[in-house]
Amino acid sequence: YFWCLGRARQAPTGRAVGIGISAPQGCGKTTLVDTLVGRFAADGLVCAAASFDDFYLTHEAQRELAAAHPTNRLLELRGNAGSHDVALGTATLRALLDREAKVAVPRYDKAAHGGRGDRAPEEAWHVQRDPVDVLLFEGWMAGFAPAGDAARLAGVDPDLALVDSFLRGYAEWHDKMDAWAVIAIDDLSHVCAWRTQAEQAMAAAGRPGMD
Protein backbone atom coordinates (compact mmCIF):
# COMPACT_ATOMS: atom_id res chain seq x y z
CA TYR A 1 0.00 0.00 0.00
CA PHE A 2 2.70 2.50 0.92
CA TRP A 3 4.38 2.00 -2.44
CA CYS A 4 1.06 2.83 -4.16
CA LEU A 5 0.53 5.79 -1.84
CA GLY A 6 3.94 7.15 -2.75
CA ARG A 7 3.05 6.99 -6.44
CA ALA A 8 -0.27 8.74 -5.76
CA ARG A 9 1.49 11.60 -4.02
CA GLN A 10 3.71 12.08 -7.08
CA ALA A 11 0.77 12.45 -9.47
CA PRO A 12 0.73 15.60 -11.61
CA THR A 13 -1.86 18.21 -10.72
CA GLY A 14 -5.19 17.66 -12.42
CA ARG A 15 -4.62 14.01 -13.26
CA ALA A 16 -5.09 10.81 -11.33
CA VAL A 17 -2.21 8.37 -11.06
CA GLY A 18 -2.71 5.06 -12.87
CA ILE A 19 -1.23 1.93 -11.31
CA GLY A 20 -1.34 -1.27 -13.31
CA ILE A 21 -1.47 -4.57 -11.43
CA SER A 22 -0.44 -7.66 -13.34
CA ALA A 23 -0.91 -11.05 -11.69
CA PRO A 24 -1.95 -14.59 -12.65
CA GLN A 25 -5.56 -15.70 -12.72
CA GLY A 26 -7.11 -16.59 -9.40
CA CYS A 27 -4.30 -15.24 -7.23
CA GLY A 28 -6.44 -12.61 -5.49
CA LYS A 29 -6.17 -9.49 -7.66
CA THR A 30 -9.72 -8.40 -6.86
CA THR A 31 -9.22 -8.94 -3.13
CA LEU A 32 -5.98 -6.96 -3.24
CA VAL A 33 -7.56 -4.10 -5.17
CA ASP A 34 -10.60 -3.93 -2.86
CA THR A 35 -8.26 -3.73 0.12
CA LEU A 36 -6.21 -0.95 -1.46
CA VAL A 37 -9.34 1.04 -2.32
CA GLY A 38 -10.34 0.90 1.34
CA ARG A 39 -6.89 1.93 2.54
CA PHE A 40 -6.82 4.91 0.20
CA ALA A 41 -10.25 5.97 1.43
CA ALA A 42 -9.03 5.82 5.03
CA ASP A 43 -6.28 8.26 4.04
CA GLY A 44 -8.71 10.62 2.36
CA LEU A 45 -7.95 9.68 -1.25
CA VAL A 46 -10.49 8.57 -3.84
CA CYS A 47 -9.39 5.36 -5.51
CA ALA A 48 -11.22 3.70 -8.39
CA ALA A 49 -10.65 0.19 -9.69
CA ALA A 50 -11.06 -1.26 -13.14
CA SER A 51 -10.27 -4.68 -14.54
CA PHE A 52 -9.40 -6.06 -17.94
CA ASP A 53 -12.45 -8.26 -17.38
CA ASP A 54 -14.72 -5.19 -17.37
CA PHE A 55 -13.96 -4.66 -21.04
CA TYR A 56 -14.59 -8.10 -22.49
CA LEU A 57 -16.54 -8.10 -25.73
CA THR A 58 -20.27 -8.62 -25.53
CA HIS A 59 -21.44 -12.20 -25.93
CA GLU A 60 -22.54 -11.51 -29.50
CA ALA A 61 -19.28 -9.79 -30.43
CA GLN A 62 -17.32 -12.69 -28.95
CA ARG A 63 -19.31 -15.11 -31.09
CA GLU A 64 -18.54 -12.99 -34.14
CA LEU A 65 -14.83 -13.03 -33.28
CA ALA A 66 -14.87 -16.81 -32.95
CA ALA A 67 -16.76 -17.16 -36.23
CA ALA A 68 -14.23 -14.95 -38.01
CA HIS A 69 -11.43 -17.28 -36.85
CA PRO A 70 -13.14 -20.69 -36.71
CA THR A 71 -9.93 -22.71 -36.51
CA ASN A 72 -8.39 -20.68 -33.68
CA ARG A 73 -9.38 -22.28 -30.39
CA LEU A 74 -7.75 -19.46 -28.39
CA LEU A 75 -10.40 -17.03 -29.67
CA GLU A 76 -13.39 -19.31 -29.18
CA LEU A 77 -14.00 -17.95 -25.68
CA ARG A 78 -13.18 -14.78 -23.77
CA GLY A 79 -9.86 -14.32 -22.03
CA ASN A 80 -7.08 -13.85 -24.53
CA ALA A 81 -5.95 -10.74 -26.37
CA GLY A 82 -8.54 -9.90 -28.98
CA SER A 83 -11.51 -10.64 -26.74
CA HIS A 84 -11.71 -7.13 -25.24
CA ASP A 85 -13.34 -3.91 -26.43
CA VAL A 86 -10.15 -1.85 -26.50
CA ALA A 87 -11.90 1.36 -27.57
CA LEU A 88 -14.35 1.16 -24.65
CA GLY A 89 -11.50 0.51 -22.25
CA THR A 90 -9.45 3.40 -23.59
CA ALA A 91 -12.33 5.85 -23.25
CA THR A 92 -13.13 4.71 -19.72
CA LEU A 93 -9.53 4.84 -18.51
CA ARG A 94 -9.05 8.28 -20.06
CA ALA A 95 -12.14 9.65 -18.32
CA LEU A 96 -11.09 8.27 -14.93
CA LEU A 97 -7.50 9.48 -15.21
CA ASP A 98 -8.66 12.92 -16.36
CA ARG A 99 -10.63 13.05 -13.09
CA GLU A 100 -14.01 13.36 -14.72
CA ALA A 101 -17.05 12.90 -12.49
CA LYS A 102 -19.81 10.35 -12.94
CA VAL A 103 -17.81 7.94 -15.09
CA ALA A 104 -19.64 4.73 -15.94
CA VAL A 105 -17.35 1.71 -15.61
CA PRO A 106 -18.63 -1.40 -17.42
CA ARG A 107 -19.29 -4.63 -15.58
CA TYR A 108 -19.10 -8.12 -17.02
CA ASP A 109 -21.35 -11.02 -16.02
CA LYS A 110 -19.22 -14.16 -16.23
CA ALA A 111 -22.18 -16.37 -15.36
CA ALA A 112 -24.32 -15.30 -18.33
CA HIS A 113 -24.96 -17.71 -21.21
CA GLY A 114 -23.97 -20.80 -19.30
CA GLY A 115 -20.70 -19.32 -18.11
CA ARG A 116 -19.64 -17.95 -21.48
CA GLY A 117 -20.40 -14.48 -20.16
CA ASP A 118 -21.75 -11.18 -21.44
CA ARG A 119 -21.40 -7.50 -20.70
CA ALA A 120 -23.86 -6.45 -18.03
CA PRO A 121 -26.59 -3.97 -19.02
CA GLU A 122 -25.57 -0.35 -18.57
CA GLU A 123 -27.87 0.14 -15.59
CA ALA A 124 -25.73 -2.43 -13.75
CA TRP A 125 -22.44 -0.63 -14.46
CA HIS A 126 -20.58 1.03 -11.61
CA VAL A 127 -20.72 4.82 -11.70
CA GLN A 128 -17.65 6.51 -10.26
CA ARG A 129 -19.30 9.70 -9.08
CA ASP A 130 -16.32 11.54 -7.61
CA PRO A 131 -13.13 12.47 -9.49
CA VAL A 132 -10.45 9.98 -8.54
CA ASP A 133 -6.95 10.44 -7.19
CA VAL A 134 -5.80 6.90 -7.95
CA LEU A 135 -6.83 4.35 -10.56
CA LEU A 136 -5.95 0.68 -10.07
CA PHE A 137 -6.15 -1.33 -13.27
CA GLU A 138 -5.72 -5.08 -12.90
CA GLY A 139 -5.58 -8.06 -15.20
CA TRP A 140 -3.75 -11.32 -15.72
CA MET A 141 -2.36 -10.06 -19.05
CA ALA A 142 -1.91 -6.47 -17.92
CA GLY A 143 1.32 -5.06 -19.28
CA PHE A 144 1.91 -7.90 -21.74
CA ALA A 145 3.70 -6.88 -24.95
CA PRO A 146 3.60 -8.82 -28.23
CA ALA A 147 6.46 -11.22 -28.82
CA GLY A 148 6.35 -10.53 -32.55
CA ASP A 149 8.11 -13.75 -33.60
CA ALA A 150 5.39 -15.62 -35.46
CA ALA A 151 7.60 -18.60 -36.30
CA ARG A 152 8.64 -19.14 -32.70
CA LEU A 153 5.09 -18.71 -31.46
CA ALA A 154 3.82 -21.25 -34.00
CA GLY A 155 6.24 -23.71 -32.49
CA VAL A 156 4.57 -23.23 -29.12
CA ASP A 157 0.98 -23.21 -30.39
CA PRO A 158 -0.20 -22.67 -33.98
CA ASP A 159 -3.03 -20.43 -32.73
CA LEU A 160 -0.80 -18.14 -30.68
CA ALA A 161 0.55 -15.83 -33.39
CA LEU A 162 -2.83 -14.23 -34.10
CA VAL A 163 -3.49 -13.65 -30.40
CA ASP A 164 -0.02 -12.14 -30.09
CA SER A 165 -0.81 -9.73 -32.94
CA PHE A 166 -3.88 -8.51 -31.07
CA LEU A 167 -1.68 -7.52 -28.12
CA ARG A 168 -0.44 -4.47 -30.04
CA GLY A 169 -3.77 -2.74 -29.51
CA TYR A 170 -3.49 -2.97 -25.73
CA ALA A 171 -0.63 -0.47 -25.72
CA GLU A 172 -3.39 2.15 -25.58
CA TRP A 173 -4.19 0.89 -22.08
CA HIS A 174 -0.69 0.15 -20.87
CA ASP A 175 0.67 3.56 -21.89
CA LYS A 176 -1.85 5.25 -19.60
CA MET A 177 -0.36 3.65 -16.48
CA ASP A 178 2.21 5.58 -14.46
CA ALA A 179 3.54 2.61 -12.50
CA TRP A 180 3.24 -1.18 -12.42
CA ALA A 181 3.03 -3.80 -9.71
CA VAL A 182 3.71 -7.35 -10.93
CA ILE A 183 2.88 -10.39 -8.82
CA ALA A 184 4.73 -13.57 -9.81
CA ILE A 185 4.22 -17.16 -8.72
CA ASP A 186 6.72 -20.01 -8.56
CA ASP A 187 4.43 -22.73 -9.92
CA LEU A 188 1.98 -22.20 -12.79
CA SER A 189 -0.05 -25.21 -11.66
CA HIS A 190 -1.42 -22.96 -8.92
CA VAL A 191 -3.40 -21.08 -11.58
CA CYS A 192 -5.48 -24.16 -12.48
CA ALA A 193 -6.15 -24.86 -8.81
CA TRP A 194 -7.19 -21.27 -8.13
CA ARG A 195 -9.45 -21.15 -11.18
CA THR A 196 -11.11 -24.38 -10.07
CA GLN A 197 -11.72 -22.87 -6.64
CA ALA A 198 -13.29 -19.80 -8.23
CA GLU A 199 -15.62 -21.90 -10.38
CA GLN A 200 -16.60 -24.02 -7.39
CA ALA A 201 -17.36 -20.90 -5.36
CA MET A 202 -19.51 -19.58 -8.21
CA ALA A 203 -21.41 -22.86 -8.39
CA ALA A 204 -21.89 -22.87 -4.61
CA ALA A 205 -23.44 -19.42 -4.90
CA GLY A 206 -25.93 -20.77 -7.46
CA ARG A 207 -24.34 -19.10 -10.45
CA PRO A 208 -23.30 -21.11 -13.52
CA GLY A 209 -19.58 -21.26 -14.23
CA MET A 210 -17.66 -21.96 -17.37
CA ASP A 211 -18.86 -24.89 -19.47
Q: Which range, 23-32, 116-125, 190-199, has the best average confidence (pLDDT)? A: 116-125
SS (H, E, C) the chain: CHHHHHHHHCCCCCCCEEEEEECCCCCCHHHHHHHHHHHHHHCCCCEEEEEHHHHECCHHHHHHHHHHCCCCHHHCCCCCCCCECHHHHHHHHHHHHCCCCCEEECCEECCCCCCCCEECCHHHCEEECCCCCEEEEEECCCCCCCCCCHHHHHHHCCCHHHHHHHHHHHHHHHCCCCEEEECCCCCCHHHHHHHHHHHHHHHHCCCCCCC
pLDDT band at 27 (very low <50, low <70, confident <90, very high): confident
Q: Can you tell me the distance from the alpha carbon of 156 to that of 8, in angstroms, rounded to the nearest whole number? A: 40
Beta pairing class for 118-119 and 179-182? unpaired
pLDDT of residue 153: 95
Q: Is the pLDDT of residue 5 over 90?
A: yes
Average pLDDT of the chain, as a whole number: 92
Q: Mark 62-93 as b/e (b = at least 16 C-beta within 10 Å).
A: beebbeeeeebebbbbbbbbbbbbbeebbebb
| Average pLDDT for 105-118 | 94
Reported as a pLDDT band with limits 50, 70 and 90, residue 202 is low
Amino acid at 64: E
C-alpha separations of 168 from 24, 49, 87, 174 in Å:
20, 23, 13, 10
Model confidence over 131-187: pLDDT tens digits? 999 999 999 999 999 999 999 999 999 999 999 999 999 999 999 999 999 988 777
pLDDT score of 194: 65
